[in-house]
Amino acid sequence: MAATDINRAIDAVWRIESARLIAGLARIVRDVGVAEDLAQDALVAALERWPESGVPDNPGAWLMATAKNRAVDGLRRATLVERKHGELGREIERRQETAAADLEAAAEDDIGDDLLRLMFTACHPILSTEARVALTLRLLGGLTTGEIARAFLVPEPTVAQRIVRARRTLAEARVPFEVPRGTELAARLSSVLEVIYLVFNEGYSATAGDDWMRPALCEEALRLGRILAGLAPREPEVHGLVALMEIQASRARARVGPGGVPVLLLDQDRARWDHVLVRRGLAALERAEKLGGALGPYALQAAIAACHARARTAAETDWARIAALYDALVRLTPSPVVELNRAVAVSMAFGPAAGLALVDALTSEPSLQTYHLLPSVRGDLLVKLGHLDEARAEFERAAALTRNARERDLLLDRAASCARG
């Protein structure tokens, strides 16, 4: 096999195996930063040896064995643990020789999986949201610092600093590598779900840059969500989030026209929707509903997305049900953005005047003063009411506020169409 083919194979193996590798090592060394360093050392060893020896039959096991051996060596050399290096070394060697102890530990845990522990650690609330996102994509997504920086359009040193600080914070706070229990589980789970959804949303509607979407981020979030659903099958909100992402992702092909031009939901060719993803999303929503209790915020949003997915045409959309679901969402998680989305649903169900009244009540909301979708929604309702001059001003204001080039072009086109009458 040529060197370039070997390198491509190593890259593919790393993307597939890195999360499990880091998670397994973190369970042993109890430090995410050290685990990542050991995994990187194993990757370097693969880059050095595989071009000559070839890719092993079980590359993941080779990487894990190499990393564990380095962990043993490192612990034995460390001066801080010199007095205990014998017992520490024997403990790691014992873990290498048999998986029985690992299986027993997993059985004692309600969910019990190294990947799940890694998710809860990387998404710990002690870290800032930006740090959680960066660390999750690095540890669980196998993305390089440069790839994360490009995905979020921030300088690479900024991402690197976030990751370094996150590792240091986790180590200094002695955050345990475990799945939390009881009341702490719900709080920590919400943090994990938030990070996954933030990654998905940045891919689905890029906040800045030249592209309307960044599909790779959507795919990564979906992958993480599906893993989490398999590891936490009794958590309805996990299935709710997966349902929401599956249904939203199903529209990806239809959301972009020729030349990357954005296509809004009501204008999309529904034949281009991925109906396999739609079915997966509806099945995940059904799982969330069958687990009982009131629907959480992700499941409610999935139920809203399902209304669109079930409608064969835009005209068949059950907007009254969507408005009712938004009413429930506002009661559960009140926010100006949810209120704005509810106003759109109300306008579609009960007329643009009803929607405009709700939007106008939000115009003084401080958190929406720089939110481009507020004037965009208001402009759309004004067009429907025939107030074209006022609508044009709203679209122009929205265009000035957005940081996404594709969206800016769309809004300026809408403003121009108002000027043409």
For the stretch 258-280, pLDDT in tens is 877 888 899 999 999 999 999 99
Q: In 3D, which of 268, 141, 157 has the Cα closest to residue 202?
A: 141
CB 333 within 8 A of CB 325: no
In the chain, % of residues over pLDDT 70: 88
List the beta bridge partners of residue 262. 256
Sign of the C-alpha dihedral computed for residues 145, 151, 156 and 158 taken in this order: negative
- pLDDT attached to residue 30: 85
The domain locations on the chain are: 1-108
Coil, strand or helix at 209: strand
Q: Best-predicted range by mean pLDDT among 32-36, 80-84, 219-223, 399-403? A: 399-403
- pLDDT attached to residue 306: 98
| Burial state string for 105-144 with b = 16 or more CB within 10 A and e = fewer than 16 | eeeeeebbbbbbbbbbbbbbeebeebbbbbbbbbbbbbbe
Q: In this structure, what token pair is assigned to residue 154?
A: 């921030």
Q: In 3D, which of 188, 193, 194 has the Cα closest to residue 126?
A: 188
Of the candidate ranges 31-35, 97-101, 291-295, the one whose mean pLDDT is the lowest = 97-101
Phi, psi of 394 (to 5 degrees): -70, -40
Residue carrying structure tokens 């034995």: 76
Coil, strand or helix at 205: coil
Mean pLDDT over residues 411-417, rounded? 94
**pLDDT, tens digit, 9 for 90 and up, residues 22-39:** 888 888 888 888 888 898
* pLDDT interval class at 50 (50, 70, 90): confident
Mean pLDDT over residues 409-418, rounded? 94
Q: In this structure, what token pair is assigned to residue 75?
A: 């612990």
Phi, psi of 313 (to 5 degrees): -135, 165
In angstroms, how far is CA 189 from the centroid of its own chain?
A: 13
- pLDDT > 60? residue 96: no
CB 323 within 8 A of CB 275: no
**pLDDT, tens digit, 9 for 90 and up, residues 199-252:** 888 788 766 665 656 777 888 889 889 988 987 899 999 999 999 999 999 999
Residues making up the chain, counted from first to last = 421
- H/E/C letters for each residue in 109-148? CCCCCHHHHHHHHHCCCCCCHHHHHHHHHHHCCCCCHHHH
- pLDDT attached to residue 106: 36
